[in-house]
């Protein structure tokens, strides 16, 4: 295949196939198995045909393959034609287009489709490694495009890569202008409906033995917090989430119907102001320090002080909020809520019921019953562990009287059961407790391993009061975190355990970089854009102002690039010796002795001397000086090696005049 006839060289086809294969590779985990196999078959067939120098499959063969792929998409995804189906269709069509590629035009179409497929990676992941990988693939694909447009084949791989990098750098200023100033809409940078969120981890609206201890093994970030006021002590950091009211003997569930009636509360200390950056968890609830004082826009505050978003959180969000860590609320709780907070399933956990009745008979006052249960957890042989033994039908009885080993959900569940059995309204609250300060970025990291469950009891004259039975069993869990509370043998992640200081420092640095990426790239919202414009001096910007600003800046950037390119295209100054020789030939041509293209210096000098005998000596002297400078020394450039001879040649030519005698030298 010759490039002159518009067909691609085999080397370019191999490079294009390899580049598109690398682009398709990250999608293997997202595409159906048959789709990945089909794409691999198309790439393999293209490689074999190129290697053997054979033509592409016929048109009807390609049409049949395209119809088969479309049928596979329709059967595999049905009516759910969303992200995954679109990416699968694009990947298959790219493979088919590559299979028929023969000319530069076909290669250009494949490369454009490849750019689109690179972008689709951000629909699945927007991390820094993903962006770095996609940048490498873009440079590779652009270098392939440069090579495909090089009809002479003069550019090698290094030159193509260098030119591709230069092109991307030239487009960088335009990209920055569009990113920073183009009018933005509300929503994430790469928002897209997701049908499957099974990969997301976090708290559920259900709690059973082992559900939270499973989260304790995860070092995934739940959210990050930046404090505008002094950060409270770790023991005060209770991040309120789902409130669980109903118990079936094993599992606690959130309320089916949530009251949105405002509750009266009394703050007993200064407010805490902070900003939460919440990772997606595919549920509606947001997290705030117990007790939230204000509600962000578009967020519902329920009667039991849960914060609920309008839609499930499927993308990273950021919200400002204030809270009180010391408060009183629920003094006038609704009677139906108190009745609900006393319900227990019949026929389960008889020993726990007997214990609760005995405590009530002995202590008589609800506060004394609470204190006695906490004393029991504190003084008896209860253990806090990530690996509790399994429990049977009477889960509370087995935990209290047999195993005595559990995680926070075991203690919260047993405590609330005992309170209800003693006639004290109580409920389970889940969320997170504590967090880890990142000294590099000066913000708090709350991981899934900090997932926690505690209790609230309703006491007359006090309202709802937080009681954390885990603090009675393991005070270190509340004061110093989970790593200080569980045994060394429990399977905590290395980043949570924190035994290696160098690894912790590296992890903090990387998390600070990732957080900056999340805040300023992925989290660059319309509000952030307005803040930037205000800092630039635009008090009340609107979309017209932004469009004018974008067009003006892009025009300036393109004008500057064009000016630089024109400067580089300006011919460089030539060899001074050659310039002097051309001036000499021009003088002789005006005198009636033009130089022929086929003549060398000596032949031309001899003929010119015969034509102009009065100038014969001058012509001979100039010619000999030129030959000595141009041909006698093959080393460095003449003007560098013989500056005196160059000046002598310049003087001889300057004094050459028709009809004059020889110049003085």
CA–CA gap between residue 68 and residue 41 (Å, rounded): 14
CA–CA gap between residue 75 and residue 77 (Å, rounded): 6
Here the contacts of 1-4 (C-beta below 8 Å, separation 24 or greater) are: 1/53, 1/102, 3/104, 3/150, 3/151, 3/152, 3/153, 4/151
Give the CB-side neighbour count of residue 508, counting CA atoms within 13 A: 16
Task: Select which of 106, 304, 468, 490 is catalytic.
Answer: 468
Distance of CA 447 to CAs 61, 280, 494, 612, Å? 54, 13, 13, 96
Distance of CA 364 to CAs 32, 455, 470, 646, Å? 64, 20, 24, 116
Task: Select which of 27, 281, 452, 642 is catalytic.
Answer: 452
Please answer whether residues 181 and 52 qualify as being in contact, where contact means their C-beta atoms are separated by less than 8 angstroms.
no
Is-catalytic flag, 452? yes
| Number of residues assigned to the chain | 665
Is-catalytic flag, 468? yes
Characterise 111 by phi-psi region: left (phi > 0), alpha (psi -120 to 50), beta (else).
alpha
Element holding 495 (H helix, E strand): helix 494-497
Task: Select which of 110, 133, 408, 585 is catalytic.
Answer: 408
| DSSP-derived secondary structure for 319-351 | EEEEE-SSEEE-TT--HHHHHHTT---TTS-HH
List, in order, residues 6 or more apart from 594 with CB less than 8 Å away.
585, 588
Measured in whole angstroms, the distance separating CA 199 from the mean position of its chain's CA atoms is: 16
Is-catalytic flag, 219? no
CA–CA gap between residue 300 and residue 316 (Å, rounded): 18
Q: Which two tokens stand for residue 517?
A: 């990426």
Residues designated catalytic: 408, 452, 468
């Amino acid at each position: 295949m010759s490039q002159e006839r518009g067909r691609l060289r085999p080397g370019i086809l191999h490079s294009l196939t390899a580049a598109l294969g690398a682009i398709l590779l990250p999608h293997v985990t997202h595409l159906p198995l048959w789709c990945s196999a089909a794409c691999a078959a198309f790439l393999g067939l293209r490689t074999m045909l190129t290697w053997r120098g054979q033509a592409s499959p016929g048109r009807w063969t390609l049409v049949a393959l395209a119809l088969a792929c479309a049928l596979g998409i329709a059967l595999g995804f049905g009516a759910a034609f969303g992200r995954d189906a679109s990416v699968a269709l694009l990947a298959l069509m790219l493979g088919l287009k590559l299979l028929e590629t023969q000319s530069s035009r076909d290669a250009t179409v494949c490369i454009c489709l490849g750019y689109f497929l690179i972008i689709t990676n951000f629909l699945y992941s927007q991390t820094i490694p993903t962006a770095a990988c996609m940048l490498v693939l873009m440079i590779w694909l652009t270098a392939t495009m440069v090579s495909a447009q090089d009809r002479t084949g003069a550019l090698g791989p290094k030159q193509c890569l260098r030119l591709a990098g230069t092109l991307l750098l030239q487009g960088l200023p335009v990209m920055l202008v569009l990113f920073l100033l183009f009018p933005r809409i509300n929503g994430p940078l790469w928002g897209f409906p997701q049908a499957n969120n099974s990969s997301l981890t976090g708290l559920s609206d259900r709690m059973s033995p082992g559900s939270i201890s499973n989260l304790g093994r995860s070092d995934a970030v739940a959210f990050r917090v930046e404090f505008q006021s002094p950060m409270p002590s770790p023991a005060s950091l209770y991040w309120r989430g789902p409130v669980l009211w109903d118990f079936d003997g094993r599992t606690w569930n959130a309320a089916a119907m949530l009251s949105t009636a405002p509750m009266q509360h009394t703050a007993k200390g200064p407010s805490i102001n902070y900003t939460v950056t919440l990772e997606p968890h595919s549920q509606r609830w947001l997290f705030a320090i117990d007790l939230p004082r204000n509600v962000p826009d578009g967020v519902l505050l329920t009667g039991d002080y849960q914060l609920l978003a309008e839609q499930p959180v499927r993308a990273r969000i950021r919200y400002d909020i204030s809270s009180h860590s010391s408060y009183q609320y629920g003094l006038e709780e609704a009677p139906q809520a108190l009745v609900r907070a006393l319900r227990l399933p019949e026929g389960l956990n008889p020993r726990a019921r007997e214990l609760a009745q005995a405590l009530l008979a002995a202590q008589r006052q609800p506060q004394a019953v609470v204190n006695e249960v906490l004393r029991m957890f504190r003084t008896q042989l209860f253990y806090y562990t990530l690996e509790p033994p399994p429990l049977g039908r009477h889960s509370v009885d087995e935990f209290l009287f047999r195993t005595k080993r559990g995680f926070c959900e075991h203690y919260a569940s047993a405590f609330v059961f005992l309170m209800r059995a003693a006639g004290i309204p109580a409920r389970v609250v889940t969320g997170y407790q504590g967090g880890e300060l990142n000294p590099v970025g000066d913000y708090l990291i709350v991981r899934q391993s900090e997932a926690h469950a505690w209790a609230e009891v309703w006491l007359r004259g006090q309202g709802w009061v937080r009681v954390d039975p885990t603090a009675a069993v393991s005070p270190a869990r509340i004061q110093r975190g989970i790593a200080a509370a569980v045994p060394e043998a429990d399977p905590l992640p290395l980043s949570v355990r924190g035994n290696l200081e160098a690894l912790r420092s590296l992890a903090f640095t990387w998390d600070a970089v990732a957080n900056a990426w999340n805040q300023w790239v992925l989290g660059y919202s319309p509000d952030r854009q307005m803040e930037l414009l205000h800092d630039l001096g635009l008090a009340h910007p609107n979309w017209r102002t932004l469009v004018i600003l974008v067009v003006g800046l892009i025009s300036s950037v393109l004008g500057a690039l064009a000016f630089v390119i024109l400067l580089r295209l300006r011919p460089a100054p030539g060899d001074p010796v050659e310039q002097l020789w051309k001036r000499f030939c021009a003088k002789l041509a005006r005198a009636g002795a033009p130089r022929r293209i086929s003549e060398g210096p000596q032949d031309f000098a001899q003929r010119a001397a015969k034509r102009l005998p009065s100038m014969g000596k001058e012509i001979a002297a100039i010619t000999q000086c030129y030959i000595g400078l141009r041909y006698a020394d093959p080393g460095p450039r003449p003007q560098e090696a013989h500056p005196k001879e160059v000046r002598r040649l310049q003087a001889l030519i300057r004094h050459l005049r028709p009809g004059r005698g020889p110049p003085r030298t």
